[in-house]
């Protein structure tokens, strides 16, 4: 399923890569970990949609942070 750029909500970035989605996601995860971040969760929206009989484009949410950095003050 393709998503046209005009359907992307304001404030979100859209970028196409010449690699499979899984490869891009793994590169992002590796870059975050290499930069000192902790990945708390990865939510696979497409997998969740498929589990209830719906289909959608691939989409994952990566929740990450740096606990050593402390809270924002």
The dihedral of CA 72, 27, 62, 19: what is its sign? positive
State yes or no: pLDDT of 7 exceeds 90.
no
pLDDT for position 67: 85
Nearest Cα to Cα of residue 1 among 49, 40, 39 = 49
Whole-model pTM: value is: 0.71
pLDDT tens-digit profile of 35-59? 999 999 999 999 999 999 999 888 9
| Total domains, the chain | 1
Domain that holds residue 63: 5-67
Is there a domain that residue 72 lies in? no
**Share above pLDDT 70 across residues of the chain, in percent, rounded to a whole number:** 85
Residue 73 lies in a domain: no
User: Do the domain assignments include residue 39?
Assistant: yes
pLDDT at 15: 76
Measure the CA dihedral 17/65/9/49, to 10°.
Answer: 80
């Amino acid at each position: 399923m393709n998503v046209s750029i005009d359907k992307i909500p304001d404030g979100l970035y859209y970028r196409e890569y010449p690699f499979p989605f899984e490869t891009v996601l793994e590169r992002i995860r590796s870059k975050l970990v290499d930069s000192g971040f902790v990945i708390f969760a990865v939510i696979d929206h497409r997998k969740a949609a498929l589990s209830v009989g719906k289909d959608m484009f691939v989409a994952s949410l990566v929740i990450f942070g740096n606990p050593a950095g402390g809270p924002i003050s």
